[in-house]
Structure 1
Amino acid sequence: MSELRIAMAIATSGGGVGNHVRSLSAGLDARGHRVAVIGPPATEDRFGFTAAGARFAPVDVGARPRPASDLAAIGKLRRMLAGVDVVHAHGIRAGALCALAQASPLIVTLHNAPPAVSGPLGLAFPVLERVVARRADLVLGVSGDLVERMRLRGAKAVERALVPAPAMPPPDRAAAEVRSELGVAQDRPLLLVVARLAEQKGLPTLLEAAALWARRDPAPFVAIAGDGPLEADLAARIAEGGLPVRLLGRRTDVPDLLAAADAFVLPSVWEGQPLVLQEALRARLPIVATRVGGVPDVVRDAGLLVPAGDASALADAVGRVLDEPATAGRLRTQAALMAETLPTEDDTVEQVLSLYRRLAARNGAVS
């Protein structure tokens, strides 16, 4: 099969989407294909697509609709995408702009559900979804609900996407050292959350549950690794309630934190294929998470799942993990088994490459 010229488009990204595009770029480059990533300059600064073997072209694709800059972006995309064999856009914003730029053949991967907002912005995202559904040759959804959503929007073809977490390095420090740094005694439960401090992650519900955990003796200590727009508000609530919760900010030692924790908690309002849950499975941690989006497909029998927004259910599930050694042991065993079945980065590259070849051949781009 001949070399493919592949363009990937990305909007402003906070983490998972950019890392996924970088992983795909590296894998496709290693297989001899030419990859160009198109997106805001800040994405190249953060994710280093060129270091992964791709060329990078700056185009201002913001996270939210902006008519003037979007029109300019569509014009640039139309010129840049001429002559490529396949265009793969990531996210509804990048996908819609590529569709309006008449990119063909076009694959769009949806990594997130539309934001729950009202007003003009709340009306804009369903319109963008319909644009993608009608014009993309193939839509990939990272969770079953996204696949069904786009099928109902009339997409020509919809499939599940594979989004694996990159393999993590082993911990650098002993669990006792990490716990000492956090000020957590060895006999005190340590609950770990790794999440962007944003509305989607359900962190206010976590703080409500932490107020319930505070009645336990010893009270579990909750460490939250990540940063984001809710940092100041969450810090104020933690201080006001005297909660046993600490905001750690963005961390580069997540493997150390996972190895030191007694359980992993994810209280999100919605998730696709959360990479951090895959990392928790590999760390063989008991998981307590919300039953939303693609979480049940990732966790399966390796965690206790509760409704989103239910602090009491979240607190009760964590209590079971802490009070029932047999339950915690079973979840650790299931986590180890599930970790063996997780998709790899190679699996993902092979999936998209098969789709690229199929669409490119349909357009006569490859023999």
Structure 2
Amino acid sequence: MVTGGRERIVADLCRDAAAQGIAPYVVAYDPVTGPARQIQLFDTPFQAIDRRAPAFVPKLRAWLCANRIDVLHAQGHVAAALARPALGTVPMIATLHMALGSGWRWALPIARGLRAAHAVTAVSHDLAARFRPLARRPIVVIPTGVDLKRFPPAGPRSAGGPFTIGIAARLHPIKRHEDAIGALRLLHERGIHCRLSIAGQGPRAAALAALAAGLDVVFAGDVADMPAWLAGLDAFLLVSDHEGTPAALLEAMASALPCIASNVGGIPTLVGDAALLVPPRAPRRIADALAGLILQPALRLHLGTAARARALDHSLHDQNFAYANLYRASAWSSDTHLNIRQSRDR
């Protein structure tokens, strides 16, 4: 299971579930292969059901009944589309995390899934606007929250070693790691040396490693201790083609890191003037922004301080409380101790 923003939100909801009077279950729509799950579920029961198997719908329906699930929380528009045929009388909440992108072949089942949900939420106003014509219903915006105690300001990195920029994102084409690597190569040609640390796993690993040959690029894989990894950075970078309210960027902002991010989706609303925004797919503009940070310590300090201040408005408690209220409003049972399924697609 590759860890991304959706998985982090699921983990945060599981960690806070008992305090909200909720008994969560987690289901993945893909078989788990390789090493153990990287996502920390805090002893939450976990089940993998292969969405590609012919018996997926009856298996999911049977699981919902066997565990007496009161509400199904589908993490993503595809997760909602896959779950709809199995729901029966179980109400569903669908949360939108990313744009439809090239998945228009899924448009009809996604529309059916969103319209069948008791409530649809989005992590940004941009996503709510994009999906409203497809959902044909109001979409509630619940911004991603961050654990401010777990991600305190990192402070200046100890002297020694090259200037280090970090990216935390699954190795997927939408995240545009190749643009960051291209920017690093442009800086190298200008005689500016820095290191790029990439946290995450995914299908692009081999291709990106080949692209980074000859550069100071570290592939850190799935990072278990994200606060410690962030504390080893001088700046943070996220240059995706699209984002909602990215958890990784919020964590970097809470850590008071100066950030560079693509001017897409919900990012401009999230960062305001507390980060350097660059166009998507623009390695030269990324290189210019990185050079500015590397050569101007005062700019780094200003952006880091402003980023932490912006992150203070994204309380993890507010996020979890908002979802808990939706669960209670959606539950067909009068029980106050809810069994909530967090389903997700990869």
Structure 2 length normalisation: TM-score?
Answer: 0.83
Query: Which of the pair is proportionally richer in helix?
Result: 1
| 1:42 is the counterpart of 2:32 | yes
Distance in 2, Cα, partners of 1:21 & 1:129: 21
Structure 2's unaligned 5+ residue stretches are 337-346
Offset of 1:365 from its aligned partner? 3.4
In structure 2, relative to structure 1, the CA distance for the partners of 1:249 and 1:297 (3 Å cut) is same
Distance in 1, Cα, partners of 2:292 & 2:14: 42
RMSD: 3.0
Given the alignment, which residue of 44, 60, 78 partners 1:93?
A: 78
Aligned length: 331
Q: 2:135 aligns to what SS in structure 1?
A: coil
Q: 1:168 aligns to what SS in structure 2?
A: coil
Q: 1:37 aligns to what SS in structure 2?
A: strand
1:93 partner letter: V
Instruction: Summarize the alignment of residues 34-183 of structure 1 with structure 2, pairs less than 5 Å apart.
Output: 34-40=23-29, 42=32, 45-47=37-39, 49=41, 51-52=42-43, 54-56=44-46, 58-62=47-51, 66=52, 68-76=54-62, 79-80=65-66, 84-101=69-86, 102-116=88-102, 122-166=103-147, 167-168=149-150, 175-176=157-158
Q: Check whether the contact 1:61–1:93 (CA below 8 A) recurs between aligned residues.
A: no
Provide, for residues 79-125 of structure 1, a one-character-per-residue CA deviation record: whole Å limited to 9, x for no partner.
Answer: 447x5433222122321233222344221112222353xxxxx4432
Distance in 2, Cα, partners of 1:39 & 1:253: 23
2:150 partner letter: M
| 1:286 is the counterpart of 2:276 | no
Which residue of structure 2 aligns with residue 225 of structure 1?
199
Q: Check whether the contact 2:2–2:170 (CA below 8 A) recurs between aligned residues.
A: no
Structure 1's unaligned 5+ residue stretches are 1-11, 117-121
Distance in 1, Cα, partners of 2:53 & 2:137: 27
Which residue of structure 2 aligns with residue 207 of structure 1?
181
**Greater RCO, 1 or 2 (C-alpha within 8 Å, sep 6+):** 2
Range with greater deviation from structure 2 (317-326 or 161-170): 161-170
| 1:18 is the counterpart of 2:3 | no
Structure 1 length normalisation: TM-score?
Answer: 0.79
Distance in 2, Cα, partners of 1:220 & 1:39: 38
* Rg comparison, structure with higher value: 1
Which residue of structure 2 aligns with residue 189 of structure 1?
163
Distance in 2, Cα, partners of 1:55 & 1:246: 34
Which residue of structure 2 aligns with residue 6 of structure 1?
none
Range with greater deviation from structure 2 (286-295 or 161-170): 161-170
Which residue of structure 2 aligns with residue 343 of structure 1?
315
Distance in 1, Cα, partners of 2:48 & 2:192: 52
Provide, for residues 121-154 of structure 1, a one-character-per-residue CA deviation record: whole Å limited to 9, x for no partner.
Answer: x443212321123211211111223211221113
